[in-house]
């Protein structure tokens, strides 16, 4: 099932795709939560309720004009650095022996079709195409063999990064460099795990103003999804709606010759096979 959170006349709502047409689930079932993380928090019953609503939902007369982030208020946005060997090499770093974990603040969340806002205090803002895992069950110390049972589904993501803050500040400010408002585009919709049986074999790419910058496959992940879930859950409890950005392949702007950073008027696309294409424009801070 594909779930789209959008702005309806009555406020935020959730639609699902049926026969290539979006249908409003909340009109068909007024008791259904109006955001995906609350649906996931209901457990398997939540997605069953959404599926039942889809069976009787009326098609939207027009495609949604304002698309909202499929996950709006995650308790955690966990990210993996240097998780593609070619990206580690282009940064001049060794392939890590353990996952490099950092996080973005929830205020970074941004939707499909919305703008990435360039902060006035940064001159080197970069793009990073990533497969995003959405957690569907709470768990701690999750064994790797059962880790995929905790995955609700997937989205496209862009781990937008202010490289000057990430790398040049004292101590290396990964958190701040990754956490400016709007620096976490997510979407265009949420795809349930049953529709993506091989998340470790998906083509992934980014395009800047129509030019392909990154092109790879999730087969190249150094640490696969199940390993990452088991590794991170040793430290913290995962909750429904938590996001796991799994890393970016080679081709980021900072590694280009000369470097390529985002500027006002740019358009960034992140496309992942079987999920869709996430579009975002780039604007300067007002």
Residue 92 pLDDT more than 90? no
State the CATH number of the domain containing residue 187: 3.90.850.10
Q: What is the pLDDT of residue 77?
A: 98
Q: Are residues 32 and 127 in the same domain?
A: no
Residue 170 pLDDT more than 90? no
Please compute Rg for the chain using Cα positions: 18
Nearest of 21, 37, 11, 33 to residue 243 by alpha carbon: 37
Share of the chain above pLDDT 70, in %: 100
Average pLDDT, the chain: 96
Residue 137 pLDDT more than 90? yes
Place of tokens 């969340």: 109
Question: What pLDDT digit, counting tens, does each position of 38-54 carry?
Answer: 999 999 999 999 999 99
Q: Are residues 36 and 161 in the same domain?
A: no
Q: Are residues 219 and 114 in the same domain?
A: yes
Q: Are residues 15 and 140 in the same domain?
A: no
Q: 121: how many CB neighbours lie within 10 A of its CB? A: 10
Distances (CA, A) of 107 to 4, 138, 188: 20, 22, 18
Share of the chain above pLDDT 90, in %: 93
Mean per-residue pLDDT, 135-159? 98
Are the CB atoms for 268 and 206 separated by under 8 Å?
Answer: yes
Q: Are residues 37 and 83 in the same domain?
A: no
- Residue 95 pLDDT level (bands cut at 50, 70, 90): confident
Q: Domain span at residue 235?
A: 77-284
Whether 61 is covered by a domain: the verdict is no
Q: Are residues 207 and 100 in the same domain?
A: yes
Residue 94 pLDDT more than 90? no
Q: Are residues 51 and 134 in the same domain?
A: no
Question: What pLDDT digit, counting tens, does each position of 255-266 carry?
Answer: 999 999 999 999
Nearest of 237, 242, 200 to residue 79 by alpha carbon: 242
Chain center to CA of 15: 18
Are the CB atoms for 90 and 252 separated by under 8 Å?
Answer: yes
Q: Are residues 83 and 206 in the same domain?
A: yes
Q: Are residues 109 and 210 in the same domain?
A: yes
Q: What is the pLDDT of residue 90?
A: 87
Work out the burial of residue 170: count CB atoms within 10 Å of its CB; fewer than 13 is exposed, 13-18 middle, 19 or more buried.
exposed
Q: Are residues 44 and 185 in the same domain?
A: no
Whether 6 is covered by a domain: the verdict is yes
Question: What pLDDT digit, counting tens, does each position of 214-236 carry?
Answer: 999 999 999 999 999 999 999 99
Whether 63 is covered by a domain: the verdict is no
Whether 66 is covered by a domain: the verdict is no
Residue 171 pLDDT more than 90? no
Provide the domain count of the chain: 2
Work out the burial of residue 239: count CB atoms within 10 Å of its CB; fewer than 13 is exposed, 13-18 middle, 19 or more buried.
middle
- Residue 20 pLDDT level (bands cut at 50, 70, 90): very high
Whether 268 is covered by a domain: the verdict is yes
Q: Are residues 192 and 270 in the same domain?
A: yes
Residue 86 pLDDT more than 90? no
- Residue 130 pLDDT level (bands cut at 50, 70, 90): very high
Q: Are residues 218 and 178 in the same domain?
A: yes
| Residues 27-57 as b or e (16 or more Cβ within 10 Å = b) | bbbeebbbbbbbbbbeeeebbebbeebbeeb
Question: What pLDDT digit, counting tens, does each position of 179-205 carry?
Answer: 999 999 999 999 999 999 899 999 999
């Amino acid at each position: 099932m594909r779930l789209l959170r959008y702005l309806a006349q009555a406020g935020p709502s959730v639609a699902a795709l049926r026969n290539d047409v979006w249908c409003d689930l909340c009109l068909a079932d007024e008791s259904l939560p109006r955001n995906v993380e609350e649906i996931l928090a209901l457990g398997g019953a939540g997605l069953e309720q959404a599926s039942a609503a889809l069976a009787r939902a009326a098609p939207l007369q027009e495609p949604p004009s304002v698309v909202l982030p499929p996950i709006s208020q995650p308790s955690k946005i966990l990210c993996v650095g240097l998780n593609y060997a070619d990206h580690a090499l282009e940064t001049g770093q060794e392939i890590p022996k353990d996952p490099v974990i950092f996080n973005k603040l929830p205020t970074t969340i941004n939707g499909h079709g919305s703008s990435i806002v360039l902060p006035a205090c940064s001159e080197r803002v970069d793009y990073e195409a990533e497969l995003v895992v959405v957690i569907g069950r709470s768990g701690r110390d999750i064994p790797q063999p059962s880790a995929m049972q905790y995955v609700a589904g997937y989205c496209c993501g862009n781990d937008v990064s202010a490289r000057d803050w990430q790398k040049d500040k004292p101590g290396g400010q990964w958190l701040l460099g990754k956490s400016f408002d709007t620096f976490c585009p997510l979407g265009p919709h949420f795809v349930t795990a049953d529709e993506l049986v091989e998340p470790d074999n998906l083509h992934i790419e980014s395009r800047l103003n129509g030019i392909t910058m990154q092109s790879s496959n999730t087969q190249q992940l150094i640490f696969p999804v199940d390993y990452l879930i088991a590794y991170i859950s040793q430290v913290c409890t995962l909750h429904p709606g938590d996001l796991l950005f799994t890393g970016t392949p080679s081709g980021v702007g900072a590694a280009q010759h000369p470097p390529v950073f985002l500027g006002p008027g740019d358009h960034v696309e992140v496309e992942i096979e079987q999920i869709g294409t996430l579009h975002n424009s780039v604007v300067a801070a007002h």
